[in-house]
Amino acid sequence: MNKPNILLIYTGGTIGMIKDPETGVLRSFEFDNLLVKIPELKLLDCIIETTSFDERLDSSNMNPKYWIQIAEIIEKNYPSFDGFVVLHGSDTMSYSASALSFMLEDLAKPVIFTGSQLPIGDLRTDAKENLITSIQIASLQKDNKPIIKEVGLYFEYKLYRGNRTTKINAEHFEAFTSLNYPDLAESGVHLKINYPYLLKPDTTKNLVVHKELDTNIVLVKLFPGISKSLLQNIFSTQNLKGVILETYGAGNCTTEDWFITLLKETIIKGIHIINVTQCSGGSVTMGEYETSIQLKKIGVISGKDITTEAAVTKLMYLLCKNYSSKDFKTVFETALRGEMSQN
């Protein structure tokens, strides 16, 4: 049986840094030296090749231009590799994993994002476990076919669906969570795969890579006392096409007249408004409370239980598809890559 071929794509982040023994300064190390730095990788039952961004990024500098670059690397190498592991800073990893999930339509191979809280050269690093298990997960096969066929995010013993994750801790090794969807796998003494929760794409279809993303969007988090003039200014931004509105609880907001009127006028102008909850877990259910009935009536789109990260990237992706307002609402409210519950 042939060993699976895995491509490691190094974009940057703490994981790929090493402390200079003399100066103590953290710097990126040459990824070609990976096998030398982590001899354990030789023990894995797969063939590993590596590629790296020319300039390694702190993921705070990540943006759609780089998402396209990652997508293009995967597209180019798709026929010759069985799986992909993307090494990425943890800060914006959930955004990138979400974006890639939308950009890679009919993906039938694993794309596993991982990183670490401590550099790989650090004595107490979490990088080795994250990297080694991510590669093992990307190599998992049954009847010569990959078991994971979606974009995942592996961190601290858990594999999550990438577009369901959020970074919740800047310090703990357990930096991510997926409150609205179960873990896809858990690494303990055994690697336990939660088969019923894996995406089951139609593998007879070919991978389609979408390389257009529209960044004419805004993310607005409501807070008690938010002013009319502030929102008026934001909503009249030139070329604005979509708004992610982070509301309270199950999708509730103030019922003040000026607020509802402003949203209504904005929607009439052709700007899509998506209702996403500020809560880390749970779902928007417009119409449950009086404070969300109006939103439903004026045509606000329900983000259901989507994360803000997935909502932002889904909006960027869908804005390039030229849907009518009605279709846009229907498509946004439909799970395209398992990013929201379908009810």
Cite the active site residues. 14
For position 324 contacting ligand ASP by CB under 6 A, the verdict is no
For residues 94 and 167, the answer to whether their CB atoms sit within 8 Å is: yes
With respect to ligand ASP, which residue has the nearer C-beta, 78 or 113? 113
Q: How far is the CB of 90 from ligand ASP (least distance, A)?
A: 3
With respect to ligand ASP, which residue has the nearer C-beta, 14 or 252? 14
User: What count of other Cβ atoms lies within 10 Å of the Cβ of residue 230?
Assistant: 10
Rg (CA), the chain: 21
With respect to ligand ASP, which residue has the nearer C-beta, 82 or 91? 91
Task: Pick the stretch among 44-52, 64-72, 89-97, 250-258 that binds ligand ASP (CB under 6 A).
Answer: 89-97
For position 119 contacting ligand ASP by CB under 6 A, the verdict is no
With respect to ligand ASP, which residue has the nearer C-beta, 117 or 141? 117
Q: In the set 58, 106, 186, 265, which binds ligand ASP (CB under 6 A)?
A: 58
Alpha-carbon gap, residue 343 to 327, rounded angstroms: 17
Q: How far is the CB of 126 from ligand ASP (least distance, A)?
A: 10
For position 11 contacting ligand ASP by CB under 6 A, the verdict is no
Alpha-carbon gap, residue 17 to 120, rounded angstroms: 6
Strand order in the sheet with 301-302: 217-221, 242-247, 272-277, 301-302
Alpha-carbon gap, residue 152 to 111, rounded angstroms: 6
Task: Pick the stretch among 79-87, 88-96, 240-248, 252-260 that binds ligand ASP (CB under 6 A).
Answer: 88-96
Q: In the set 52, 59, 94, 180, which binds ligand ASP (CB under 6 A)?
A: 59
In angstroms, how far apart are the furthest CA atoms of the chain? 67
For position 13 contacting ligand ASP by CB under 6 A, the verdict is yes
With respect to ligand ASP, which residue has the nearer C-beta, 91 or 129? 91
Q: How far is the CB of 117 from ligand ASP (least distance, A)?
A: 6
Task: Return the DSSP state at 184.
Answer: S
The residue behind tokens 């929760």 is 197
Distance between terminal CA atoms of the chain? 42
With respect to ligand ASP, which residue has the nearer C-beta, 117 or 139? 117
Nearest one of 186, 193, 207 to 147, comparing CA atoms:
193
| Alpha-carbon distances of 135 from 17, 78, 126, 177, 201, rounded to whole Å | 19, 16, 15, 20, 21
Q: In the set 6, 7, 9, 14, which binds ligand ASP (CB under 6 A)?
A: 14
For position 60 contacting ligand ASP by CB under 6 A, the verdict is yes
Q: How far is the CB of 1 from ligand ASP (least distance, A)?
A: 36
Closest CB to ligand ASP: residue number: 89
For position 114 contacting ligand ASP by CB under 6 A, the verdict is no
Estimate the share of the chain in helix, then strand, then coil, as percent rounded to the nearest 5. Answer: 35, 25, 45
Which stretches of the chain bind ligand ASP, using CB under 6 A?
12-14, 58-60, 89-91, 115, 117
